[in-house]
Amino acid sequence: MRSNITQYDLIAPNSLDAVLQILADSPDHYTPIAGGTELMVALGAGRLQSKKLISLWNLEELRFIEVTPDAIVIGAGTTFTDIRKHPVIASEFSILAQAASWTGSIANQNRGTLGGNIVNASPAADTPPALLAYDAEITLVSTRGARTLPYRDFHLAYKETALEPEELLHSITILRNYEGYKTYIRKVGTRNAQAISKVAIAVVTRMNKGRIEDIRIGAASVREYPARLTVTEQSLIGKAITPESIAAARSIIFAEVRPIDDIRSTAKYRATVAANLLEEFLLSLS
């Protein structure tokens, strides 16, 4: 424990409105903390810069999963375990359930939240590729009200998001549109469990008469933030699955991802494996 915890303050208002009010009013900025699986690591390592924190843990306005005929709305305070357990997510949004299942360990899934996973904005985060592939929308709230934007527009640069200082991520909405779609997600980590992603892709696609009619590809650890691979997507629209179309898609995804060398893996490996994963998916369609 490399921090002096007497120097830190944590407050836990018992309503979302109270939290938002504090965020709006407070001149010294409060950092929201939900399950703590990210910020408490930084605290332990002596790296937690913000000394004032405000707890979002278990706020019922944020921890919910609401199912309507058209959509599913997941509160930002929902844990990975909540997500895994939900029958509609398991049956209609299976790649999101899968992504939640390989995030950290069971103990960390009981505390880690979807909102934290998104807002922490690690390029290696596990749920964003699925959320991007499902074309999720996110809702941000503040004392000034709520605004919604496509999740694909949320990440702006490395660890930089569209979230304003007094805003919180409220919820993630996914339309229940995916009947008849083929989906795929695969994460390549440093080991089989409790691993940070070296590369991961999530794909959602609709076929028509053997051709790709609609396709969305989300990827982790290939850019400075979770990425939609739109160039690759566009190149595949209207294509049938043939050795030529697969080879072309491989080259395009290889060029579109721009991964780096880091402590976990190399750029070349990541790019090649991304292409291999896409090929594996395309072959499964034929």
Partner 1 sequence: MTTIQFTINGEKETVEAPPMKRLLDVLREDLHLTGAKEGCGEGECGACAVLINGDLVNSCLVPILQAEGTEITTIEGLVTEGKLHPIQQCFLEEGGAQCGICTPGMILATHHLLEKHPQPTPLQIQEGLSGNLCRCTGYMRIFNAVQQAALAGVAE
Partner 2 sequence: MAGTPPIVGQSPLRKEGKAKVLGQAEYVDDITLPGMWFGATVRSTIPRGRITSINFDPSIPWQEFTIVSAADIPGENTIVHLTKDHPCLAVTHVNHAEEPILLLAHPNRALLPAAVAAVHITYEELPSIYTIEDSEKKEQIIWGEGENANTFKTYLMQKNQVPIPEEVWEKADYIVEGEYRTGAQEQLYIENNGVIAEYDPETGVTVRGSMQCPFYLVHALELVFNLPAEKCRVIQTETGGAFGGKEDFPSVIGSHAALLAMKSGHPVKLCYDRAEDMAATTKRHPSRTRHRTAVSKDGKLLAGEIDFAIDGGAYATLSPVVLSRGTIHAPGPYLWPYITVRAKAMATNIPPHGAFRGFGAPQSIFALERHMDKIAKAVGLTPEELRRRNFLSTGDRTATGQLLSDPVDMQHLLTRAVEESGYHAKRKQFDRENPISTIKRGIGFATFFHGSGFTGSGERRLNSLVEIELTVEGLPRILVSSTEFGQGTNTILCQVAAQTLRLPYDQILIAQPDTGHVPNSGPTVASRTAMIVGKLVERAAQSLCATLVTSGDLPHDYTPEDFRRAAQLYLARHGALKSEARYESPEGIFWDDETYSGEAYPAYAWAVYVAEVAVDTSTYSATVTNFHTVQEVGKVLHPILAAGQIEGGVAQGIGYALYEKCLWNNGHLANNQMTNYIMPTSADIPPIHVTFEEVPSPHGAYGAKGIGELPMDGPAPAILNAIEHATGVSFNEIPLLPEDIFERMTRVPNTGTESLDPAIAGPIFSEASA
Distance between CA 36 and CA 56 in Å, rounded?
Answer: 10
CB of 45 to partner 1, least distance (A): 7
Say if residues 91 and 84 touch (Cβ distance below 8 Å).
no
CB of 253 to partner 1, least distance (A): 30
191 binds partner 2, rule: CB under 8 A: yes
CB of 41 to partner 1, least distance (A): 5
- Choose from partner 1, partner 2, none: what does 190 bind? Cβ within 5-8 Å by kind: partner 2
CB of 44 to partner 2, least distance (A): 8
- Choose from partner 1, partner 2, none: what does 106 bind? Cβ within 5-8 Å by kind: partner 1
- Choose from partner 1, partner 2, none: what does 175 bind? Cβ within 5-8 Å by kind: none
Per CB under 8 A, the list member of 19, 23, 30, 35 interacting with partner 1 is 35
Angle between the 243-256 and 267-285 helix axes, to the nearest 10 degrees?
A: 150
64 binds partner 2, rule: CB under 8 A: no
Per CB under 8 A, the list member of 25, 46, 66, 208 interacting with partner 2 is 46
Which is nearer to partner 1, 79 or 205 (by Cβ)?
Answer: 79
149 binds partner 1, rule: CB under 8 A: no
273 binds partner 2, rule: CB under 8 A: yes
219 binds partner 2, rule: CB under 8 A: no
Phi first, then psi, for residue 94 (nearest 5°) are -60, -30
The set of residues, in sequence order, having a beta carbon less than 8 Å from that of 87 and lying 6+ positions away, is none
Q: Residues 222 to 261: which contact partner 1 by CB under 8 A?
A: none
Distance between CA 153 and CA 161 in Å, rounded?
Answer: 9
Per CB under 8 A, the list member of 89, 188, 212, 257 interacting with partner 2 is 188
193 binds partner 1, rule: CB under 8 A: yes
Q: How many residues bind partner 1 (CB under 8 A)?
A: 32
**Cα Rg, the chain, nearest whole Å:** 19
106 binds partner 1, rule: CB under 8 A: yes
47 binds partner 2, rule: CB under 8 A: no
Q: In this structure, what token pair is assigned to residue 126?
A: 């596990």
109 binds partner 2, rule: CB under 8 A: no
The binding site for partner 2 (CB under 8 A) comprises 1-6, 45-46, 188, 190-196, 263-266, 268-269, 272-273, 276-277, 279-280
The binding site for partner 1 (CB under 8 A) comprises 1, 5-6, 8-12, 33, 35-37, 40-41, 43-45, 53, 55, 57-58, 81, 104-108, 110-111, 192-194
